[in-house]
Amino acid sequence: MKVTVIGAGYVGLVSGTCLAEVGNDVLCLDIDAEKIRVLNAGGIPIHEPGLLEMVKRNSAAGRLRFTADVDEGVRHGVILFIAVDTPPDEDGAADLRHVLAAAREIGRKMTDYKVVVDKSTVPVGTGAKVKAVIADELRRRGADIPFGVVSNPEFLKEGAAVEDFMRPDRIIVGAEDEQAILLMRALYGPFQRNHERLIVMDVKSAELTKYAANAMLATRISFMNELANLAGALGADIEMVRQGIGSDPRIGYHFLYPGCGYGGSCFPKDVKALIQTARDDADIALKILIAVEEVNDKQKHWLTRKIVTRFGEVKGRHFALWGLAFKPDTDDMREAPSRALLGDLLAAGATVTAYDPAAMPEARRVLGDEPRLRYANAPLAALEKADALVIVTEWKEFRSPDFEAIKRMLKAPVIFDGRNLYDPGFVRKQGIEYFAIGR
């Protein structure tokens, strides 16, 4: 099937590549000429395990191509995915300018039946806006061309996006047009040969499903962070509590790990957008989600509070930082807890040497030239002359470190663990002070 993906960013590139992997003829369209140049040269603009190899394989086979030519993009696909950014406005609502601009170009240039699929995370009611924009452009042209609009939200985890797309838990399709539904079933057929995973619903319900899923996961994280802080104050062990409640099948173990807050491109943005949608469109205050956001914002400064409590004045002290990305297996630093911690420490007059397996180039880009922040080429190299080690991201290579070397290299052998990677008793027996969340 001929497919056009508008937007060759994280969602668009993963989706287009995986669709090409099963035999579709995919054209990825992006107006960013530099991004297209990188893709046509055999590179990718993001860090995602397994993606580069898949892009190269399908490009070589002729099933995956990249262009900045809008006319070519609209002409190519029977199904056109809109997978552009929806950044938050100042009030937290999703900015739909790029989505509606893409829809407008489709309406201006389409010459035959198209299925227009909202893949971007968009507020409830966006499908109707996309439909209206396309219909308006067709009226301006005096063209009577049928088309369908579908909501098909993505559920991709950064660091596991290829696996998530190739083996989905569910495929949500919001549509009323029967022809569009048939085409979407055919498109996703190769991804559900084992059993039916495609759930068809109305467009608004599909749009809300995406926000509801991310809001629920964010709620679990903030709940566990609150509980961990309580456990620490009461002398309980949150890890034992996690195992105790996770063993209840009604609760389960997923997303019950306390830490120094969630970040990334999805949870913070989507929680804010859902709160704002409820306020603007329904005059409803989502009090639970408002609390979820407040808890997370506070939790991002948990490490700072522990460091200040332990050292008092941090001015003139030097800290080693393990982890910059908001989670492992990605270089994404959007809303990353490391940014809150670095902001606190640098503003207080401390210096930092950071190490991350993937995110250091991105850190240099987003943080700029900060003379008090340096980067190391290995975890232990970051410890040189440091007063303490602070762990923010749970990369696998941090899980079983050389504690003897850590103790020897740190001025004061102290670890502040924002991800509860280690057994507190074991670390303390190595002669290292250890501060974990709720342990």
Given a contact cutoff of 8 angstroms between Cβ atoms, the answer to whether 296 and 261 are in contact is yes
Give the Cα separation of 228 and 230 in Å (integer): 5
Question: 411: which 2 tokens?
Answer: 């001025």
- Among 60, 51, 59, residue whose Cα is nearest residue 26: 59
Q: Has 18 been annotated as catalytic?
A: no
- Those residues whose C-beta lies under 8 Å from the C-beta of residue 420, and which sit 6 or more positions away, are 238, 239, 257, 258, 259, 436, 437, 438, 439
Residue matched to tokens 């507190």: 424
Give the Cα separation of 152 and 147 in Å (integer): 16
Given a contact cutoff of 8 angstroms between Cβ atoms, the answer to whether 328 and 394 are in contact is yes
Residue 88 pairs in a beta bridge with 94
- Among 297, 308, 366, residue whose Cα is nearest residue 333: 366
Concatenated DSSP letters of 63-78: SEEEE--HHHHHHH-S
Give the Cα separation of 271 and 245 in Å (integer): 25
DSSP 113: -
Kindly report the CA angle at 145 between 154 and 99, in degrees rounded to 5? 30
Give the Cα separation of 303 and 338 in Å (integer): 10
Give the residue numbers annotated as catalytic, written as ranges.
266
